[in-house]
């Protein structure tokens, strides 16, 4: 069975319930950078990645777990916007699974990926976890482009990063994400070319503003738009 058909079946079975759960858990949290739309984009990046992925171990169970991980990895930010949000996200995912009478044992890789996805040093002992591997890359891709500029500024401010150092911190983190992406895909491939352009857009923006010391203090507005939208169902 083709990935597209398995993805469609997974969405038919789970998309409605995970989005309903997310909306209730997120409540009135004011953090647009990591709201439901972010999780939808990450799921779409997962589907885009699978369109270029040919590993034989990808099956229905893995795709269902990727969907769950995509929609729950940052839900814990409704309570904790710091580095511990992965743990709270895992707890929310476990609540969803229990509520829907799904066995936790069938989703342990997804739960582990949810808890550990924000380790951007990529030295995680769970690196053999294919759910974590793909989720991390998909989450990284949503940090690039003009949309990534806005997302970075919002969450780094929420974490109390000073305006003087914020651009440098963002560049350091984004470079780590891009290096992870380079290890995942082949330079020169269509997937690599699409997202290297988006990474360079973000990098050039912050490098330029680091030199001038201006550009985000008034709210993080930037020119241009992220033309790549991961909306295709691959």
Reported as a single tens digit per residue, the pLDDT across 105-126 is 999 999 999 999 877 665 554 4
> Is 124 found in the same domain as 41?
yes
Interatomic CA distance for residues 165 and 91, integer angstroms: 33
Question: What is the average pLDDT value for the chain, to the nearest integer?
Answer: 88
- Residue pair 97/65 in contact by the 8 Å Cβ criterion: no
Say if 87 falls within a structural domain.
yes
Decide if 229 is inside a domain.
no
- 170 shares a domain with 124: no
Residue 45 sits in a domain whose CATH number is: 1.10.3210.10
Total count of domains within the chain: 2
| 111/59 same-domain check | yes
Q: Where are the alpha helices (DSSP H) in the chain?
A: 3-26, 36-50, 60-72, 85-99, 108-116, 130-141, 145-158, 166-184, 190-212
Domain final residue pick, 136, 169, 204: 136
Among 116, 136, 156, the domain-final residue is 136
| Residue 111 vs residues 1, 40, 94, 107, 152: alpha-carbon distances, Å | 26, 18, 8, 6, 25
Cβ atoms of residues 72 and 89 within 8 Å: yes
234 domain residue, yes or no: no
159 shares a domain with 120: no
* In a domain? residue 126: yes
Whole-model pTM? 0.88
224 pLDDT above the threshold of 80: no
Q: Considering the domain boundaries, does residue 70 fall inside one? A: yes
User: Is-contact 65 109, C-beta < 8 A?
Assistant: yes
Q: Report pLDDT for 55.
A: 73
* pLDDT score recorded for residue 232: 45
| Residues 1-31: tens digit of each pLDDT | 688 899 999 999 999 999 999 999 999 999 9
57 contacts 47 by C-beta, under 8 angstroms: no
Domain membership flag for residue 172: yes
On whether residue 232 sits in a domain, the answer given is no
Per-residue pLDDT reduced to its tens digit, 165-195: 999 999 999 999 999 999 889 888 999 999 9
Same domain, 125 and 26: yes
Full domain range(s) for residue 123: 3-136
Domain boundary among 118, 136, 154: 136
Pick from 114, 147, 146: nearest CA to 131:
114
């Amino acid at each position: 069975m083709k990935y597209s058909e398995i993805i469609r079946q997974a969405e038919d079975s789970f998309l409605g319930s995970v989005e309903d759960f997310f909306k209730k858990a997120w409540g009135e949290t004011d953090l647009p950078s990591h709201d439901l739309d972010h999780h939808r984009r990450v799921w779409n990046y997962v589907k885009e990645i699978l369109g270029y992925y040919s590993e034989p171990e990808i099956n229905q169970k893995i795709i269902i777990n990727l969907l769950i991980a995509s929609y729950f990895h940052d839900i814990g930010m409704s309570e904790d916007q710091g580095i511990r949000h992965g743990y709270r996200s895992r707890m929310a995912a476990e609540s969803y699974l229990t509520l829907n009478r799904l066995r936790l044992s069938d989703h342990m890789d997804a739960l582990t990926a949810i808890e550990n996805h924000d380790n951007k040093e990529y030295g995680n002992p769970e690196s053999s976890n294919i759910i974590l591997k793909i989720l991390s890359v998909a989450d990284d891709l949503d940090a690039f482009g003009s949309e990534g500029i806005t997302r970075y500024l919002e969450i780094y401010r929420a974490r109390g990063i000073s305006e003087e150092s914020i651009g440098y911190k963002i560049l350091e983190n984004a470079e780590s994400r891009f290096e992870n992406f380079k290890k995942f895909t082949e330079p020169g491939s269509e997937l690599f070319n699409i997202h290297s352009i988006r990474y360079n857009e973000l990098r050039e923006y912050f490098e330029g503003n680091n030199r001038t010391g201006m550009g985000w203090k008034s709210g993080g507005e930037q020119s241009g738009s992220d033309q790549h939208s991961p909306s295709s169902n691959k």
